[in-house]
């Protein structure tokens, strides 16, 4: 049951973001099951449920995916064609 709850996301349980922390999982367990777990032990419990820790991927605010795609298609392709390694192949 806990694993299904985790997969629903933390926002489904009233947290402001979808990121689960051990402290948040402990709060949900306390509220739903009236069982207290120290947050430091939640990792073991989650591994026993078949879940592994995940870290959110950080992305720069300035990132422009469209510009990156254009650069790869135009500039990188041209640079690869003119590289010293491609001349000896």
Residue 20 domain-assigned?
yes
Residue 18 domain-assigned?
yes
* Positions of the chain with pLDDT lower than 50, given as ranges: none
pTM: 0.59
Q: Distance between CA 88 and CA 73 in Å, rounded?
A: 23
- Give one DSSP letter per residue of 6-53, joined into a string: HHH-GGGGT-SSS---HHHHHHHHHHHH-----HHHHHHHHHHTT---
Q: Distance between CA 87 and CA 27 in Å, rounded?
A: 62
CA of 33: how far to CAs of 28, 40, 47, 65, 73, in Å? 8, 18, 19, 44, 54
Residue 36 domain-assigned?
yes
Mean per-residue pLDDT of the chain: 85
Please write the tens of the pLDDT for every residue from 46-70: 888 888 877 777 888 888 999 988 8
Residue 71 domain-assigned?
no
- Dihedral of alpha carbons 20, 46, 28, 24, sign: negative
Residue 79 domain-assigned?
no
Residue 73 domain-assigned?
no
Residue-range definition of the domain harbouring residue 30: 2-48
Residue 64 domain-assigned?
no
């Amino acid at each position: 049951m806990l694993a299904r709850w985790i997969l629903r996301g933390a926002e489904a349980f009233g947290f402001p973001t979808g990121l689960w922390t051990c402290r948040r999982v402990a709060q949900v367990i306390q509220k739903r099951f009236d069982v207290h777990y120290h947050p430091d032990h939640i990792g073991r419990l989650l591994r026993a449920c078949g879940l592994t820790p995940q870290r959110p991927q950080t992305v720069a605010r300035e990132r422009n995916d469209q510009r990156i795609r254009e650069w790869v298609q135009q500039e990188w392709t041209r640079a690869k064609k003119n590289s010293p390694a491609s001349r000896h192949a």
